[in-house]
């Protein structure tokens, strides 16, 4: 059995075989495909879970920088 390895994007559920491999593939009748998939990175939500703190008063700028 012969193995060919390449990376490709999946667009609309379809894989694209690189054109330089097509001549080599034409000499085979069957193939077995194994996909090693990499998930898309999930966007980070910085404020996904807001927390309300009762009686919280935002300090004034001067109060933050007092020595």
- Is residue 4 within 8 A of residue 24, CB to CB? The reply is yes
Q: Distance (Å, rounded) from C-alpha 1 to C-alpha 31? A: 9
Q: Distance (Å, rounded) from C-alpha 66 to C-alpha 60? A: 10
Total-model pTM? 0.51
Q: What is the pLDDT of residues 39-56, one digit of tens each?
A: 888 887 777 677 788 888
Q: Distance (Å, rounded) from C-alpha 12 to C-alpha 7? A: 16
Confidence at 62, pLDDT banded by 50, 70, 90: confident
Q: Distance (Å, rounded) from C-alpha 31 to C-alpha 40? A: 27
Provide the pLDDT for residue 48. Answer: 66
If you search the block for the tokens 């077995």, which residue do you land on?
32
Confidence at 63, pLDDT banded by 50, 70, 90: confident
14 has a pLDDT exceeding 90? yes
């Amino acid at each position: 059995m012969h193995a060919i390895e390449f990376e490709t994007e999946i667009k609309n559920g379809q894989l694209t075989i690189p054109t330089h491999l097509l001549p080599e593939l034409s000499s085979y009748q069957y193939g077995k495909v194994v996909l090693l998939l990499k998930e898309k990175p999930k966007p980070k939500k910085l404020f996904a879970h807001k927390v309300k703190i009762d009686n919280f008063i935002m300090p004034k700028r001067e109060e933050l920088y007092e020595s």
